[in-house]
Each structure stands twice: as C-alpha cells, then as structure tokens.
Structure 1
Amino acid sequence: MIPDDEWVPVSPENCGGVAGPFYHGTRADLSAGDLLTAGFRSNYDERVVMNHVYFTAMPKGAGLAADMARGEGRPRVYVVVPTGGFEDDPNVTNKKFPGNPTRSYRSRHPLKVVGELESWEPYDPEFIRQLRSRVEAGMGEIIN
C-alpha cells in the first residue's frame, strides 16, 4: 500500500511517466491498428454512454473487464497504446486502497490496439458470477 503522501495522482498533464504496457479487456473482436474510442455504450451498463476509454497496466485486471463485458464474443485482452493524455480511473482509485493499486486509467483519446494476449491469470468463476450479479443489481455506478 502506498502512503497518501507518496502517491501522486495520474493526470493528463503527468501521465507521460506512467509505464506500460497497457491492456483493455472486452468481448469485441479487434485487430492490430484498430482504435478504441469513447462515445459507445458501457460494457457493463447499456444505459451509460462512455465519455472515456478504460485500460490498465495489469493483464489480470483487463481479463476481469473482458469477463464482465456484455456481448456474445469470447473475453479478449488487447495490448493498447494511449494516443493522448490519460488519468487515474476514479471508479477504482482510492476506493478500497490508497492510490491506484489496480493501475487502472481512462482517456478521452483513442487507444490503439497493437496486439492481443492469448492468456492471462483468470479470476475464479464464482467471483465473476457474484460480481455480475452485483452489477446487474445496480451496484457500482460508473463515474463517467
């Protein structure tokens, strides 16, 4: 855990010092060169049109996002490169632990797909089922 006085929030102004690689989890079938952009319905709540594209520096976190995403395709984790500034994801940052231990971020700029991970460390299927139930029940409002 990072003490509050050592953690510096990531913002579009200082994000250049954040090391990748970065990952995005979804069920969409994408190819290298494709751009992920904001302005589409959330992978978790179809009532919400997203103002940002979300990503993480942790493959397991992107795998969780892929498992949780709506849609018919198989869960996929893509290696992505931000094309502009980004910030800490306020949906998880400082929620349970100080700082951003999930290394989760969001950007108003597109993410460029540069590859796909073939495997990642999975979460327990029962955990996924419980989390889905909580999301479907309306818990976990998206800070957009």
Structure 2
Amino acid sequence: MEFDPNNPVVKLCVQGMDMEANGKPEEASRLFLQAWNEATNDFEKYIAAYYVARHQANVSDKLNWLETALQAALKLNNEAIKGAFSSLYANIAKCFEELGDLENAKMNHDLAGSSTVEPSDKGPFYHGTKADLQVGDFLTAGYKSNYKSELTMNHIYFTALVNGAGLAAALATGDGQERVYVVEPTGSFENDPNVTNKKFPGNPTRSYRTRAPLKIIGEVTDWVRQTPEQLQQWREKLASNKGEIIN
C-alpha cells in the first residue's frame, strides 16, 4: 500500500504527533487509539499500533502493541516497511530486558542486527524539480538545498512515489514549471536518513539518496497536485522545522 499523507489514519497519527510536540501526551494517546480503531488494513494497523505502543506506561502492554505492529508489518512484506524492522525488534528486545526475559531479549537484539539491510527497491524512481532537463541528462549532488539555502548537498535525492516527487517539484526553488523525471541510479543508494524512522517508522515515503549521478530516462506529467492551501501548509512546516538536515 502506497503511503498517502491524506489517509485518515495517517492524518490522525500526524495530529497525535503534533499533540506530543505540544506537550499533550493524553490527547496524543487518544488520537493514536482512534487511529487504531479506525484502521482497516495491515498498513494502517502497523502505523497506529506503533504509536499506541509508545504511550503505554506498562511494559507488558507496550510489548503487546509493539508485537502487534510487527505482525502487521511482516504481513505487508513491503519495501517501505523494511527500514522499520531493526527499530521494532530493538524496542521489543528492550521490553523483554525490562521484564527479565533475557533469552527473548537476545533473540530480538539479534533480529534487530540482522534486519539492517541496504534498500532493495527496484523503482521506478522519480525526482521532482523546476529545472528544464532532457532525457539522457544527469542529476548530480553539489547544489544548494531547497530547504536551507546555505547548505550545499552532498547527495542527490529521489523517491519511488511519483506523488512525493510531485510535491518536491512544487516546493523546489525557482520559477520554472514543475517537472517530475523518471530517473535511474548509476550507483549505490541508501534510505534517506532525514525521513527514515523519524516521524514514521521505516521509510514509508520510499525516499532515497545517492552520491552517484541519477540519469534521466523519462518524464511523467500525471501526479496528484497539491492545492495552494496544502502547499502553503507544507511551506509553513518546512519554515518552522528547526531540525538539522543530515547531509
């Protein structure tokens, strides 16, 4: 299932995270439980259970919710979820340690270590920009960040979600037309550490980065455009984000 920020369960989880950031844990917990109760598929259950787990005061209850999230994630067998397994197993191991179950703690620590893998996403991949480029051109690192103009980027970023690339194009600097190119990595790539296991577990936006050039092999024109109001909300979020970009 493709990650959709407008999914009702995802939106409830985002609201819950906002409540956490505003020092309102009880309201956050209520929203996460509402998300769980409204979840209708394994992806939504995985996301909701993950957040419900971190609001449990009782270790056994927290373990139960983490294992619920894990079982839903295992059923998905989705590229976007793979990046979360290491963190899920590590948190489960910590719960077992607190419960004095060292055998299960060790087993889950081992699973956490073996779950750290390079992305195996086969694409297709997309890059959103306002630059006017041609098939056969190469996108390279070394340009200024769209989000922090004083920062020169060491990597070039791309995604396997065309709507995510469309959003990046809309938010990119410049006055040109929004363009989404189909790209082909020419070298190894990794999960984007700026989004992987940050707000959401794993890499649900299937966002990646590489130091090697990206070759443009096509262009798409059909993606879900954001409304002016939605774009303004995104710009406000980016402007208020005080976190450092991992470069």
Q: Please give the range of the TM-score, normalised by the shorter of the 2 chains.
A: 0.7 to 0.9
For structure 1, the 5+ residue unaligned runs are none
Is contact 1:26-1:43 (8 Å) kept?
no
| Structure-1 residue corresponding to 2:156 | 53
**TM-fit CA distance, 1:80:** 0.1
**TM-fit CA distance, 1:97:** 1.8
Structure 1 segment 1-144 matched on structure 2, within 5 A: 1=46, 2=73, 4-5=84-85, 8-9=115-116, 11=118, 15=119, 17-144=120-247
For 1:5, the aligned partner's letter is: F
**TM-fit CA distance, 1:33:** 0.6
- Structure possessing the higher radius of gyration over alpha carbons: 2
Q: Deviations over 1:37-56 (max 9, x none)?
A: 00111122211100000000
Question: For 1:141 and 1:127, how far apart are their aligned partners in 2?
Answer: 24
SS in 2 for 1:45: coil
SS in 2 for 1:81: strand
For structure 2, the 5+ residue unaligned runs are 1-45, 47-72, 75-83, 88-114
**TM-fit CA distance, 1:140:** 4.8
**TM-fit CA distance, 1:122:** 1.8
RMSD: 2.0
SS in 2 for 1:5: helix
Higher normalized strand content (fraction of residues): 1
Is contact 2:145-2:152 (8 Å) kept?
yes
**TM-fit CA distance, 1:135:** 2.2
SS in 2 for 1:72: coil
For 1:124, the aligned partner's letter is: T
**TM-fit CA distance, 1:134:** 3.0
Superposed structure 1 runs of 4+ greater than 2 Å apart: 1-11, 133-141
Structure with the larger RCO, 1 or 2 (CA within 8 Å, 6+ apart): 1
Q: Deviations over 1:66-113 (max 9, x none)?
A: 011011101111000000000000111111221111000000000000
SS in 1 for 2:236: helix
What's the TM-score once normalised by structure 1's chain length?
Answer: 0.87
Is contact 2:86-2:116 (8 Å) kept?
no
Question: For 2:176 and 2:117, how far apart are their aligned partners in 1?
Answer: 32
Higher normalized helix content (fraction of residues): 2
Question: For 2:138 and 2:163, how far apart are their aligned partners in 1?
Answer: 22
